[in-house]
Amino acid sequence: MRASAIRPTGVERTFAPDEIIVTKTDLKGHITYANDVFLRVSAYSEEEVLGQPHSLIRHPDMPRCVFALLWQEIRRGREIFAYVVNLAADGAHYWVLAHVTPSAGPGGQIVGYHSNRRVPGEAALRRIRPLYASLTAEERRRSRPADAVEASTALLEGTLKEHGMSYEEFVWSLAGQEAAR
């Protein structure tokens, strides 16, 4: 089933703090590996996800500008940490703190991407949810996807500038709040 055909139900799903969701993709973002935690939480079978674009689980309330930043960083060979809300096959959603890294081949060239996801802390989500809601609202004011990403990126950059930090620093400040608890 295509992600665009799945309607969010508003039901939030989670997974255990000691579990890690793992997927691997090729250079175009098509899933080449998915672990059992991913399959259970996303409510997809392995047959349904292998070879499919990772955007299969894209939630409509996930800001496009965050994905644009993510792809920018990993294509440059850099890792990135990001808070992401995903959409499961049954319409439930689940939040993750994703760590996405490029995978290198024998010659050092990037051959794909690897993502580990953990359960984010509730304090971090209390800060992320309103930020992402404002970013997606900004995107929805634009009819062209490129304009939407440009507008929400400007809003995100302005918000981060007000706090004097990069997105990475912002993510780590939220993760650090959780670790201090």
Question: Residues 145-164: pLDDT tens digits?
Answer: 999 999 999 999 999 999 99
Residue 100 lies in a domain: yes
Residue 8 lies in a domain: no
Give the whole-angstrom CA distance, residue 85 versus residue 5: 17
Residue 128 lies in a domain: yes
Residue 73 lies in a domain: yes
Helix (H, G, I), strand (E, B) or coil at 102: strand
Global confidence as pTM? 0.91
Contact assessment for residue 16 and residue 29, using Cβ atoms and an 8 Å cutoff: no
How many folded domains does the chain comprise? 1
Residue 6 lies in a domain: no
Residue 168 lies in a domain: yes
Give the whole-angstrom CA distance, residue 67 versus residue 40: 23
Radius of gyration in angstroms for the set of CA atoms belonging to the chain, rounded to a whole number: 16
Torsion of CA 31, 134, 180, 17, to 10 degrees: -30
In the chain the beta strands, taken as DSSP E runs, fall at 21-25, 31-34, 80-87, 93-104, 110-118
Give the whole-angstrom CA distance, residue 7 versus residue 92: 9
pLDDT score of 4 more than 70? no
CATH number of the CATH domain containing 105? 3.30.450.20
Residue 62 lies in a domain: yes
Query: What is the reported pLDDT for 180?
Result: 46
Residue 3 lies in a domain: no
DSSP state of 120: P
Contact assessment for residue 37 and residue 22, using Cβ atoms and an 8 Å cutoff: yes
Give the whole-angstrom CA distance, residue 57 versus residue 43: 10
Question: Residues 81-124: pLDDT tens digits?
Answer: 999 999 999 999 999 999 999 999 999 999 999 999 999 999 99
Binned at pLDDT 50, 70 and 90, residue 3 comes out as low
Give the whole-angstrom CA distance, residue 74 versus residue 115: 11
**Residue whose pair of structure tokens reads 């953990």 in the numeric block:** 118
The parent domain of residue 81 ranges over 18-179
